[in-house]
Structure 1
Amino acid sequence: MDVFGAVADLYEQARPGYPPEVTAAIIDYHGGSPASVAEIGAGTGKGTEILAAIGAPLTCIEPDPRMAGLLKAKFPRAKVLVGDFEHWNPPPGGVDVLGCAMAWHWLDPGDRNPRARAALAPGGVLALFGHRYGYTDPQQAARIRSALDSLDPTAKERPADWMYHDVMAGGEFTDVRLVRFRRDLPLSRARYLALISTFGPFLTRPPELRRRGLEVLGRLADDFGGTVTLDLQTTLTLARKRREG
């Protein structure tokens, strides 16, 4: 996840936050206010805003020190640990809520579900949430998709509800639920290109391909009148650790 450290400030500025209804959904699913919350891959705190609003003591785990620095400044009451989730030692008895926003895919697919389960208290809640960036205008969507495919036909996009299916397939949790939220998000040309510049698939491509990609998308944004309107879809996967006995 340290791929984002070089663009930590831009990430904080460009990435949209999450609807406050996510906090309410987590508390409702938990059955009340939890006693402790931990977050995997907290980044600069976009998901932390949701988890901090729960009001419980919060531990944030972030592997990149540059991202963690911004996180500490934003959430001085949170305990910020610089390191990997795989090397984190949960407190005895586990935490009541374990959250992860837009970072679940960075964890080992064969290990993330059992490791998350082990970090939770009996009856504890796993809350995975993230955005899917679609486009409100079908013509904008088609032209952007065509441009990106021509630049890099190998790029693939996960289904919006992939985390729900991952948890279901893992078999470590019970009462797995999927909650959806959506909103239109109009972005100026500059804000749209800034957002694109923070995406993992963009950051892991060669510099020349990134440059060409921004040029092509910039021209398309100009063709659209300087505004690209996103269909911002947020999914929340909730799951519970079985109580023993």
Structure 2
Amino acid sequence: MAYTAGPGLVGALLVGTTIGRSMAYAWGVPAVPVHHMEGHLLAPMLEDNPPPFPFIALLVSGGHSMIVEVKGIGKYQILGESIDDAAGEAFDKTAKLMGLDYPGGPLLSKLADKGTPGRFKFPRPMTDRPGLDMSFSGLKTFAANTIAANDDSEQTRADIAYAFQEAVCETLAIKCKRALKQTGMKRIVIAGGVSANRFLRKELEALASKIGGEVYYPRTEFCTDNGAMIAYAGMQRLKNGEAAELSVEATPRWPIDQLSPIKG
């Protein structure tokens, strides 16, 4: 019985952990705690053409944004991460500023499809300095100021949504390009809820094409939180001999690079 044990909000984690651990006990089967972001990272393995190791992974969700060097399951090195808002969080907060429902990221992207390229120009944060860390809270503020300074027509809202989405996705692509150059790799995986964004996929596909590389991502239903990715990650951990004790434990803070490597 695989269940998400962290990272995340401790209340939600305790509910899931208690249920997962209790079901495993009732059925007399092993209980396997799974790292939420490892589940996302391994989601492309569910596809017919899974990415071979090693690769660079861009993990972008509502709570996390990080670039990870992946040499195998459990063999992770964080190369860069957001120092404030995650990319998905910035999407949702900006969507809220525009009066869109929650979760706003997909709705903002849909609105951006009607936008006019070039009308508004947003900054590409932290791309003018070395390193792979990211920052997206400033884009939210820039969007708020842009919204306040312009009319509330549907076209203007669409144009702002386009500029915001373009800035986030191009920033992520710039950081991924640096990571590939830094590691000498040409294979990149994108996973997490934001990996369903079509603009981001096109940016990374163009990047991979320029360097003769490859880009992998899960199908749309496996981008957002789902049981299949947790089951797959749990299966790999179980095969590695990992299982939980009887006690119920959640890990709200759980760096992905502290996971144990899978043998073999």
After TM superposition, the score normalised by the length of structure 2 is 0.25
Whichever structure has more strand as a proportion of its residues is: 1
Whichever structure has more helix as a proportion of its residues is: 2
Q: Which has the higher contact order (CA 8 A, sep 6+)?
A: 2
After TM superposition, the score normalised by the length of structure 1 is 0.26
